[in-house]
Amino acid sequence: MPLIRTWQLVAGSAAAGLILSAGAVVAAGPWDSGQRKAERDRVASLSRTGGADHGERPLPQAAPSAPGVLPGLPGLGTGATGASARPAEPGRDAAAADGAGPEAAAPDRGAPDAAALAAALKPLLADPALGDLRTASVIDTATGTVLYEAKPREAMTPASTVKIATAAAALAALGPEHRIATTVVPGPGTGRIVLVGGGDPSLTARKKAPAGSGGSLVDLAADTAQALKAANTTAVTLGYDDTLYSGPPVHPIGIDNDNIAPVSALTADEGRPDDSFAGPVDRSKTPAADTARAFASLLRESGIKVTGAPAQAKAPAGAAPLATTRSTPLGALVERMLTHSDNDIAEALARQTALAAGQPASFEGAEKAVAAKLAGLGLDLAGSRFADGSGLNRADKVSARLLTALLAKAADPARPELRPVLTGLPVAGFSGTLRTRNTGSSPAAGLLRAKTGTLSGVNSLAGTVVTPSGRLLSFAFLAANTPDKPSAEKALDRLAAAVAGTP
């Protein structure tokens, strides 16, 4: 299960943030993983009638005729093209970048005020902190109505907001319950075994497995030792097979970047040499060999003699496993990836999507598979490129409209398999990469869920927010050539807060 620490839940103005979070996390979708269940249980333990409310406004209550949680999405079904999808009635397109737009043809209680939103966003989007190219898209997920646009089809370098696309493609390809196997099989000849990597990014070699881990080398070693002893084998030669993935394992940003390890089908603890769970840290340059050595040590502790050092080997085709360990479900992997902006998980999910599509499990194969899967969801990919799964590659290109359309797809009741895209997004002032952003008295605190994106000169924010009337909106803001990260993030947070306050 994704990591959630007690101190994260109670730090700062805990009661206020959690009470507001009740609205946001309920609106974001079903509670289908441990992290979101932990949030729900903690929020539910606090009285809705007590404590602070950030001094802004009461917890939003939907009007009787307002759509319920995660309403249907007319106009965003098969064949729709993101935010360009239109509801059935003509004249429902709301303001474009100039803030002007016709009134709705029929009254819709609780419908967002597009003109007011445009008036709030236009001056904020002009902030020089956002560089010289800024794009925006805001849509009402209940109807598919465009509420605000500014160059929405402009293909931009998205940084880590591309993880939304990676997550959606993987979930569409494999489903949220899919688990990735790491196995041990008999090798060629007597007394030989092979550790076979399946690409589980949650695999751990730690004896005290961290929350959010999945496959366990400790358990795999114990089960392997038991199977070997049952066959009267107490000494083996160990090989390891990491050939499931192909192509260069090193991301184009280089091997010495502390944001990602070499992409390998056999990696324990993301190649981290310390007890860290997320964030930048120096990584192993040989994750597969290191994992095999750790497994050999665990086998010895389980009473199996391992002769020699583990060596690369190819597992015999069709060999029945002696033992298997499996990852946490893919839905939980998506949540962990989005909450902590985990680059290693992102690249693993992109390759799993490639394998599901019959493509080579490489950067190139993953790019083709992700694009094909998203196109299969009826999304307009014009100008898009998915050069990697993590967003570290500046060759990635997506539009603000594509991101809002992806988020709307994830909110569609007809697409429950995509729901972890929403439930995994960090909550403003509450969790993950948004824990210290839009906090305190911000109208977005506890109500906004979004994926951040940061590269040098590139800043982005895309997610969902519950409005005071109870509507779920999706939004995306992308900025290029930004002068510095802190000022750009503050400018993006002001834009998000304005969406949260949409009347």
Which residues does the annotation mark as catalytic?
Answer: 160, 163, 341
Structure tokens at 43: 């929020």
∠ CA(317), CA(319), CA(325), 5° rounding? Answer: 115
Crossing angle of the two packed helices 363-376 and 343-356, in degrees rounded to 10: 70
List the one residue out of 130, 156, 136 whose CA is nearest residue 483.
130
Q: What whole-number distance in Å separates Cα of residue 331 and Cα of residue 170?
A: 9
Q: Which residue has the tokens 């909110």?
A: 411
**How far from each other are the two terminal CA atoms of the chain, in whole angstroms?**
37
Q: What whole-number distance in Å separates Cα of residue 375 and Cα of residue 368?
A: 11
Instruction: Report the run of H or E that residue 149 belongs to, with start and end.
Output: strand 146-150
CB 397 within 8 A of CB 156: yes
Structure tokens at 362: 């490489």
List the one residue out of 371, 446, 317, 412 whose CA is nearest residue 56.
446
- Distances from the Cα of 388 to the Cα of 161, 211, 384, angstroms: 12, 27, 12
CB 77 within 8 A of CB 378: yes
Q: Computed over its alpha carbons, how large is the radius of gyration of the chain?
A: 24
